[in-house]
Structure formats: structure tokens, C-alpha cells
């Protein structure tokens, strides 16, 4: 496609703030429901800024938490919720549908990893390793499904055999043919057998595909060539389905030249029958900026959406062009509505200690024009 793409009718507004200030709301997810309503989810924490208990030392050591010796990252003793909002009027107003509680010293267990199936079932991926206060739950990646719009959730459905693998689901995406893919991190060691820091050095990209709405899954599909998997150092990546069925991927990974920093890489998975084969992966022309977010649009282009700006490609990432809109807030998630409008949801702040920043959830919208 030899064209120029630009955005018009751009707006940004706050759609949610915690009931207390400073607010703690982060790790946004977003998806379209079959009735064309929109849903957004995120982690919320409320409670005292000081005087809270800490998690037991052995649990914190296992989770390699809190980072940088910052005690406020330990969320023990706070009221933690997975909040879900829904809009039936194209984002003009939002109603809270649900807010299920969880207990963890960590600052999130799900949210980014949710999607609606064609029958209205909402499916979410949970990182059970971050739920050490609930040892009865799988201490690896699992799915839950809701048949009532996120008000209640079914039992855990483990993604991979925990005696062999540790899986961390970070994205669920529907393909045009109705199949479902899960993206995230894969460590080829038993679940709950390493510390979080050790896992980080073992994770490689995870891709599996389901033909029955996530009830059964393929074996893990290679995402990057074998020579690139060693010391990959990250579970976060995203994939956009191209017109020919290939998957354009953008990865967050450790810099192979400097393990103290993180970088963006990209690659293409070539569609072969019902699976994909990785081609060469290489550095992407973007600085590191949190979890990658890609959106395959109806205009035939793919957007890369980040705190460093929004870029687009029409040739599977061979060339990227900057879009004429501001950079987003942290960890953006995006959807395109039936009328073609783009919606981006993210949170003010970053990966912050509790109470350090007044976080909130924002929504940006615009239309693409060729």
C-alpha cells in the first residue's frame, strides 16, 4: 500500500479515577463485545499509604519483590480488585460491571489479558504465580471464563502441563477465522520452581492456538528462530494478524548486547496451513516503552501504540511512519469499533509504588484517513 495515513477527530479524556487520591489504577485491558459495546478492565488498589503489613520474607524473595528496595511496591494489606467497565454509547459513558477481589503482594494478576468470544463469553488469562496467598490455585498461567459479562468467573483452566512448563498469558486475540491465540511467556521448567528473577532469564515468547474457544490448545508454537531464544529475557510481546494470515510481532526483550537494558524487536510469523513458522527477528525502530501493543486496522495498516508515539506500517513492518497524534499513557490497549473509530485505553503514571502517583484510566479516540 503506497499511501499516506493520518488521524483526525483526536480526543483524550479520563474515564475512571479510584475512589481515593492518590489513585492506583493500572494495567488496562480492552475489547469489543459481540453487541459492539466496549469493555475495559484494570487493577485497582485502595487502602492506607502507610502502616500496612508486609508479605512474609520467603514469599517476597520468591517473587523478587519489591523492586529497588521500595517497600510501597508490596501491596499486602490493600484492597485489590479487577475492575471491569462497559460502555454502550461509544465511550461517552461507562458503567462499572464488576470488581472481583484478589489477594497478592503484587500489583496485578490479570487485566491486560482478556477478550470476548463470539458467543459473548469473556475469557481472561491469570498469572497464578502472583497469587502466593492462594496456594490452592495453579501457580502458573491459567484461563477463567465468564458467561455473565465478568460478574462471576469459572474455575482455573491451566494452559500447559505444570510439571513441564511455566506459562504466563499476556494477550488473548481472536483471529479472523474464529480461532483464538494466547501470547505471553514460556519457561521450559516446572511451574513454581524458580524465583521471578530466575524466570525472567528463562522466558521466551509463548504462542498457542485454540479452535474451540480456549477449551483446548495446541502445543507451544515457535515464535522466534532457535538461535534467538537463548537469553531472550522477557514475556511481553504482541502480534497483529495481516491480510495473508501472517502475524507481525513486536517484542520487549533484553538487549543481547547489554543485559542491563531492554529493547524492542520485531519479526514476522509466516502462516503455514493452520500454524506459523518464524522468520528472522531483528531490532525494531522504537525505543523500549513497556508492553508492546499492536492493532490491525480495517484500513489494512498495523498500528504500533506506545508512550513514545503511534506508528503505522502497511508492509509488515519493513517501514514504519509516525502518526500525527500524541504519545499514549502507560501500557496502552486498543480496539477499533464497527464504525472505524480507534479507541486507546491506558493509565496515567507508570509502574509506580503505591501512592507515589495519582493514577487514572484515560481514553483516546481518533479516525484514520487515507
State the average pLDDT over residues 304-333: 97
Q: 286 and 274 in contact (C-beta within 8 Å)? A: no
For 51-109, write each residue's pLDDT tens digit.
999 999 999 999 999 988 789 999 999 999 999 999 999 999 999 999 999 999 999 99
Least confident of 244-248, 263-267, 278-282: 278-282
Alpha helix positions (H), the chain: 57-63, 196-202, 226-229
For 136-167, write each residue's pLDDT tens digit.
999 999 999 999 999 999 999 999 999 999 99
Paired with 101 in beta bridges are 81
pLDDT at 227 over 90: no
Set out the domains of the chain in order of their start, with CATH numbers.
Answer: 6-369 (2.120.10.10)
Q: What's the half-sphere exposure (Cβ side, CA atoms, 13 Å) at 199? A: 25
Instruction: Supply the pLDDT for residue 2.
Output: 62
pLDDT at 1 over 70: no
- Write 56-61 long-range contacts (CB < 8 A, 24+): 59/105, 59/132, 60/105, 61/195
Least confident of 82-86, 130-134, 257-261: 257-261
State the average pLDDT over residues 254-258: 87
Instruction: Supply the pLDDT for residue 164.
Output: 96
Q: Supply the DSSP symbol for 337.
A: -
Residue 167: closest CA among 181, 155, 154, 182: 182
**How far from 50 is each of 40, 74, 101, 286, CA to CA, in Å?**
30, 11, 21, 38
Instruction: Supply the pLDDT for residue 257.
Output: 87
Average model confidence (pLDDT) across the chain: 95
pTM of the model: 0.97
Strand 330-336, strand 342-347: pairing: antiparallel
CA 200 to chain centre: 17
Instruction: Supply the pLDDT for residue 228.
Output: 80
Distance separating alpha carbons of residues 168 and 185, to the nearest angstrom: 5
Q: What angle do CA 60, 197, 67 make, to 5 degrees?
A: 55
pLDDT at 230 over 80: no
pLDDT at 226 over 90: no
Instruction: Supply the pLDDT for residue 80.
Output: 98
CA 206 to chain centre: 13
State the average pLDDT over residues 240-268: 93
- Counting beta carbons within 10 angstroms of the beta carbon of residue 196, is it exposed (0 to 12), middle (13 to 18) or buried (19 or more)? middle
- Counting beta carbons within 10 angstroms of the beta carbon of residue 121, is it exposed (0 to 12), middle (13 to 18) or buried (19 or more)? middle
Instruction: Supply the pLDDT for residue 280.
Output: 84
State the average pLDDT over residues 279-294: 94
Torsion of CA 156, 161, 167, 173, to 10 degrees: -70
Instruction: Supply the pLDDT for residue 17.
Output: 98
State the average pLDDT over residues 3-16: 95
Amino acid at each position: 500500500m503506497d499511501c499516506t495515513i493520518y488521524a483526525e477527530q483526536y480526543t483524550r479524556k479520563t474515564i475512571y479515577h479510584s475512589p481515593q487520591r492518590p489513585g492506583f489504577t493500572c494495567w488496562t485491558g480492552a475489547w469489543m463485545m459481540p453487541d459492539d459495546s466496549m469493555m475495559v478492565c484494570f487493577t485497582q488498589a485502595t487502602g492506607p499509604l502507610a502502616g500496612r503489613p508486609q508479605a512474609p520474607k520467603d514469599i517476597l524473595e520468591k517473587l523478587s519483590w519489591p523492586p529497588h528496595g521500595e517497600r510501597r511496591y508490596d501491596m499486602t494489606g490493600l484492597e485489590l480488585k479487577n475492575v471491569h467497565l462497559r460502555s454502550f454509547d461509544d465511550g461517552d459513558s461507562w458503567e462499572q460491571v464488576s470488581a472481583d477481589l484478589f489477594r497478592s503482594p503484587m500489583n496485578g494478576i490479570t487485566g491486560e489479558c482478556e477478550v470476548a468470544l463470539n458467543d459473548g463469553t469473556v475469557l481472561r488469562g491469570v498469572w497464578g504465580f502472583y497469587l502466593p496467598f492462594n496456594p490452592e490455585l495453579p501457580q502458573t498461567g491459567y484461563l477463567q471464563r465468564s458467561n455473565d459479562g465478568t460478574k462471576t468467573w469459572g474455575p482455573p483452566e491451566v494452559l500447559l502441563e505444570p510439571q513441564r512448563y511455566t506459562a504466563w498469558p499476556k494477550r488473548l486475540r481472536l483471529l479472523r477465522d474464529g480461532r483464538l491465540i494466547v501470547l505471553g511467556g514460556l519457561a521450559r521448567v516446572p511451574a513454581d520452581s524458580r524465583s521471578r528473577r530466575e524466570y525472567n532469564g528463562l522466558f521466551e515468547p509463548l504462542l498457542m492456538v485454540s479452535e474451540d474457544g480456549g477449551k483446548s490448545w495446541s502445543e507451544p508454537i515457535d515464535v522466534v528462530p532457535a538461535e534467538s531464544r537463548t537469553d531472550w529475557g522477557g514475556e511481553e510481546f504482541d502480534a497483529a494478524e495481516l491480510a495473508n494470515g501472517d502475524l507481525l510481532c513486536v517484542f520487549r526483550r533484553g538487549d543481547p548486547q547489554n543485559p542491563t537494558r531492554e529493547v524492542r524487536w520485531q519479526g514476522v510469523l509466516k502462516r503455514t496451513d493452520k500454524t506459523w513458522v518464524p522468520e528472522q527477528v531483528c531490532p525494531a525502530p522504537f525505543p523500549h516503552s513497556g508492553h508492546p501493543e499492536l492493532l490491525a486496522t480495517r484500513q489494512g495498516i498495523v498500528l504500533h501504540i506506545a508512550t513514545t508515539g503511534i506508528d503505522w506500517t502497511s508492509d509488515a513492518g519493513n517501514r514504519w511512519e509516525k502518526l500525527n497524534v500524541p504519545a499514549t499513557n502507560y501500557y496502552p490497549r486498543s480496539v477499533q469499533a464497527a464504525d472505524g473509530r480507534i479507541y486507546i485505553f491506558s493509565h496515567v503514571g507508570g509502574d509506580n509504588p503505591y501512592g507515589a502517583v495519582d493514577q487514572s484510566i484515560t481514553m483516546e479516540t481518533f479516525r484514520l484517513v487515507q
